[in-house]
Structure 1
Amino acid sequence: MSIWDELTGQAEAIATVRAAAAGDGLAHSWLITGPPGSGRSTLAYAFATELLARPDLSGDLEHTTAQVAARTHPDLAVLSTEAVIIKIEDVRKLVTASQFSPSVGRYRVMVIEDADRMAERTSNVLLKALEEPPERTIWILCAPSEADLLPTIRSRVRSVRLRVPSVDDVAELISRRDGISLPEAMRAAREAQAHIGMAHRLATDEHARTRRRRTMELALGIRSVSAAVLAAAELLDIAGQDAKAITEERDAEERDQALRSLGVEPGGTVPPALRAQLKALEEDQKRRATRSLRDGLDRILVDLLSLYRDVLVLQLGAGLEPVNLAIYAELAQAAERATPAQTLATLDAITEARVRIEGNVAPALALEAMLVSAIRRVPTGAR
């Protein structure tokens, strides 16, 4: 399998970085931008693989591909976070590591995923490294858009923009890679709105499909303020379950690995002198849980945006295919119970909820305020 097979619908971006890796227009600093699920990190690591591999050595590409996939290549340094922000101490360590010469590869490659999570002070630490990089060091940053980074950083990188892949492209990838039937892959890709990672989860995880289906049922069933409050509580619980499903198994594996590395038997007592290491791991896991909960809430809100978008499409007779085609009958009923102005107000409320949650407003309050706008009274004659 080629290192580029995990990308779909990005032929222009792939051509750009492959040409650069071959020596045509190779810059020292790169910024890969694109919407969530478009394959920013996938492109970054495929690019890194071709930069690190030595074409003069037989079989080196396959060996390098395996090392990059495992993040164990000696000339690859990666900074990623599942916390809310990237810590300045981590960037300083990466900048220090960038000064070393490559040991086995053609270049030393530094990858920062989610570079948009750097505060201004942290970004300024990175800026110094981008201004005067060592001759054989390549920086690859990933972010949703150029506007998410400081202008001073944007001026020092070469940008590669990824587009939203088509639903057909994502469905074909999911079907080929995960062995899912094409109709099922098509539904997952459509409901994920061409987000590759979410399409994979919906296609392969029944629990993820159930949580999404329940989200839609809750939103369409709100008839009063009390129902909106109860629905907000359940949506928060759904987001928590989603976050737990993603992090729980990984947290347990990390703790077991940490205990083994410290020489502690499973179920054994941790010596006081070693508790600080476990405490640091637990703090990192708590930060990841916070980020995972926020991400879970945002996925719910994106799903709700698709729901009310579909309702508005039907109300306006736009003739566009609904994202949530599987619940077309429910969409038609919802379109009859509200005016386009009410639907637009709900879409605005969902957008505002996303902003509030990102700004640290209590999620329950943000969800309650949003769902009040989704109240739809059933006409007396229809009861």
Structure 2
Amino acid sequence: MTATWEELTGQDEAVRLLTTAARDARGEPGGNGAMTHAWLITGPPGSGRSNLAFAFAAALLSPAGDPDDARTTAQVAAGTHPDLSVLATERVVITIDEVRSLVTTAQYSPSVARYRVMVIEDADRMSERTSNVLLKALEEPPPRTVWILCAPSEADLLPTIRSRTRSVRLRVPEAHQVADLLVSRDGVDPAVALRAAEEAQSHIGMAHRLATNADAQRRRDETIDLVLGLRSIPQAVRAAERLLDTAKEDAAAQSEERDEADRAAAMRSLGVEPGGAVPNQVRGALRALEDDFKRRATRGMRDSVDRILLDLLSVHRDVLMIQLGAGVPLVNRTRSQALHALAGAGDPAATLAVLDAIADARRRLPANVAPLLALEAMLVSTVLHRAAA
């Protein structure tokens, strides 16, 4: 996680609002009464919701007069600050017991900072019953507790939750802003960075992955080529299987990277040297960690399928823009020739129908429809609409 303002690309207005609120929280001039006890940060995937939440948390937890305290920033980034509590989930939903535990912790007075900060990264993953547990805490907050909720949009939370929070809306950064970040932060070649930013549709994390991981870029290229070449229903059925395999490969690669890092961090925290024997008394904790990894892998695979669907949306968005003569930049400009050929072979009505089919597939995934069935239905519909154009 990031706990500094500098990497929040294209979110100047939100940063100004929260830095002003942090000054107000510390009693400094220029705060203008901007501070409140509960915040809701919304924005599309990759916009930096969690990064903004942790940067704000670091500013609130830093010693008075020193909002950029390096020690506090490092503790927040590592999730080890004693007055910071974070709730995220690798499951489909946040459980009511997890929220109850967090609400209990919120009642404690801060131990070293002026505030106790409670961050919920996936607030949209709470059921109505679970949200009502949180609502009670927001209605009667302790004087030194600050809640920071993150969600894709305000509509993902109950109106009663929204009414008790101050909203901070993030926007999608420009592709060139994301590219500039990749160049300055990661040393990526400018041309590679811009292509990655465009193809990731300004999702910073995905742009970084495409720019720095050749296998991730290869899998995306194969996905686009596969769908551009669809001509028959048998092809669509085989393509669905291949897309699911690609999603599994991508999810496995990401899980392996994260699991290895988290496993090493857990071993260090338990006092186990790399390659050393694991004492019996900590094996239970490691088994629980492995169970978390399995749950994360399940969610990761579904997220990978959704990323593929987003890529397909970008392809047919490009086709539609060409058909309408909109004159806007293409997301997949390296496929310009194939996109123009597909646009010429169809019409806007058929392309809109394909976009609807992809959107339907995205809605079915969270409803526990088997990913393969969702992909098959979407690709068969794509072939039929193209043929009817």
TM superposition score normalised by structure 2: 0.90
Deviations 1:256-303 (A, max 9, x none): 6667739799596986x8765444333322221111111101110000
Structure 1 residues 128-147: aligned runs within 5 Å: 128-147=136-155
Partner residue of 1:28 out of 37, 40, 62: 37
Task: Give the drift of 1:198.
Answer: 0.9
Greater CA deviation, 148-157 or 247-256?
247-256
Aligned to 2:158: 150
Aligned to 1:55: 64
C-alpha distance in structure 2 between counterparts of 1:67 and 1:249, whole Å: 22
Aligned to 1:8: 9
Aligned to 2:107: 99
C-alpha distance in structure 2 between counterparts of 1:374 and 1:250, whole Å: 35
Structure 1 residues 85-124: aligned runs within 5 Å: 85-124=93-132
Deviations 1:161-186 (A, max 9, x none): 11111112111111111111222211
**Does structure 1 residue 42 correspond to structure 2 residue 51?**
yes
Aligned to 2:72: 64
Deviations 1:40-95 (A, max 9, x none): 111101111110111346x9711111111111111111111122111222111111
Is the contact between residue 223 and residue 376 of structure 1 (CA under 8 Å) also seen in structure 2? no
C-alpha distance in structure 2 between counterparts of 1:149 and 1:20, whole Å: 23
| Unaligned 5+ runs, structure 2 | 25-30
Aligned to 1:286: 294
Aligned to 1:325: 333
What secondary structure, in the 3-state scheme, does the structure 2 residue paired with 1:374 have? helix
Task: Give the drift of 1:249.
Answer: 3.3
Aligned in 2, Cα 1:319/1:16: closer, same or farther, shift over 3 Å? same
Aligned to 2:233: 225
C-alpha distance in structure 2 between counterparts of 1:187 and 1:66, whole Å: 32
Task: Give the drift of 1:346.
Answer: 1.0
Aligned in 2, Cα 1:196/1:89: closer, same or farther, shift over 3 Å? same
Aligned to 2:83: 75
Aligned to 1:126: 134
C-alpha distance in structure 2 between counterparts of 1:313 and 1:41, whole Å: 32
Is the contact between residue 4 and residue 46 of structure 1 (CA under 8 Å) also seen in structure 2? yes
Length, aligned pairs only = 377
Greater CA deviation, 370-379 or 129-138?
370-379
Deviations 1:10-40 (A, max 9, x none): 1111111111111132100110011111111
Aligned in 2, Cα 1:377/1:10: closer, same or farther, shift over 3 Å? closer
Percent identity between matched residues is 60
Greater CA deviation, 137-146 or 256-265?
256-265
Is the contact between residue 82 and residue 111 of structure 2 (CA under 8 Å) also seen in structure 1? yes
C-alpha distance in structure 2 between counterparts of 1:65 and 1:278, whole Å: 28
Aligned to 1:162: 170
C-alpha distance in structure 1 between counterparts of 2:262 and 2:256, whole Å: 10
What secondary structure, in the 3-state scheme, does the structure 2 residue paired with 1:77 have? strand
Partner residue of 2:358 out of 350, 358, 367: 350
| Unaligned 5+ runs, structure 1 | none
* Aligned partner letter, 2:47: S
Aligned to 1:18: 19
Aligned in 2, Cα 1:60/1:160: closer, same or farther, shift over 3 Å? closer
Greater CA deviation, 190-199 or 274-283?
274-283
* Aligned partner letter, 2:61: L
**Does structure 1 residue 237 correspond to structure 2 residue 238?**
no
Aligned in 2, Cα 1:147/1:61: closer, same or farther, shift over 3 Å? same
What secondary structure, in the 3-state scheme, does the structure 1 residue paired with 2:382 have? coil
Aligned to 1:308: 316
Is the contact between residue 40 and residue 151 of structure 2 (CA under 8 Å) also seen in structure 1? yes
Task: Give the drift of 1:251.
Answer: 2.7
Aligned in 2, Cα 1:92/1:302: closer, same or farther, shift over 3 Å? same
C-alpha distance in structure 2 between counterparts of 1:283 and 1:2, whole Å: 28
What secondary structure, in the 3-state scheme, does the structure 1 residue paired with 2:63 have? coil
Is the contact between residue 3 and residue 55 of structure 2 (CA under 8 Å) also seen in structure 1? no
Aligned in 2, Cα 1:264/1:15: closer, same or farther, shift over 3 Å? closer
* Aligned partner letter, 2:367: G
Task: Give the drift of 1:253.
Answer: 4.8
C-alpha distance in structure 1 between counterparts of 2:276 and 2:242, whole Å: 35
C-alpha distance in structure 2 between counterparts of 1:28 and 1:44, whole Å: 14
**Does structure 1 residue 296 correspond to structure 2 residue 296?**
no
Aligned to 2:191: 183
Deviations 1:182-231 (A, max 9, x none): 22211111111111111111111111100110010110111111110110
Is the contact between residue 85 and residue 119 of structure 2 (CA under 8 Å) also seen in structure 1? yes
